[in-house]
Amino acid sequence: MRVLIIALLGASLSAAPAFAKPPLRDVAAVDDALLDLGIADIIRKECPDISARMLKAVNYVWGVKAQARDLGYSEAEIEAYVDSDAEKARMRARGKAFFKAKGVDTSDPQSYCALGRAEIQKSSRIGSLLRAK
């Protein structure tokens, strides 16, 4: 039994390179955090009655970047993910699906306002980035 454990440990240590980091898009803690940031940004741009908590948003971004670095991602990997046109398009699609699921009429600014106020009221991550005027 002891030999089997040692053999399995040795095999898992030698296979360490096989456990490479997943792409940042697959790290839900980072990807979902950036989605929430983008949703909050759209709400504040579309709703005249809601503004951003800019200092909170900046600190939030720094926190997400720090979390990615803590997970072993380099600054270059983080920037490549954030600057990727494919990732931006994917995030836009996720945001569009979020707004649709929440019943937002994208032609009606008050629809964004209602969602923003609801998120603020819930003290959600999105709501924490927003302020009612």
Backbone angles phi, psi at 104, to 5 degrees: -75, 130
Q: Per-domain residue ranges for the chain? A: 22-132
pTM for the predicted model, two decimal places: 0.82
19-77 per-position pLDDT tens digit: 588 999 999 999 999 999 999 999 999 999 999 999 999 999 999 999 999 999 999 99
The per-residue pLDDT for 20 is 82
Instruction: Please give the single-letter amino acid code of residue 113.
Output: C
Predicted pLDDT of residue 97: 97
Taken in order 105, 108, 113, 114, the sign of the CA dihedral is negative
Amino acid identity for residue 123 in this structure? S
Alpha carbons 65 and 80: distance in angstroms, whole number: 12
Q: Which helix (H) or strand (E) holds 110?
A: helix 109-122
Cα–Cα separations (whole angstroms), residue 105 to 46, 99, 108 = 11, 8, 5
What letter does residue 72 receive in the DSSP assignment? T
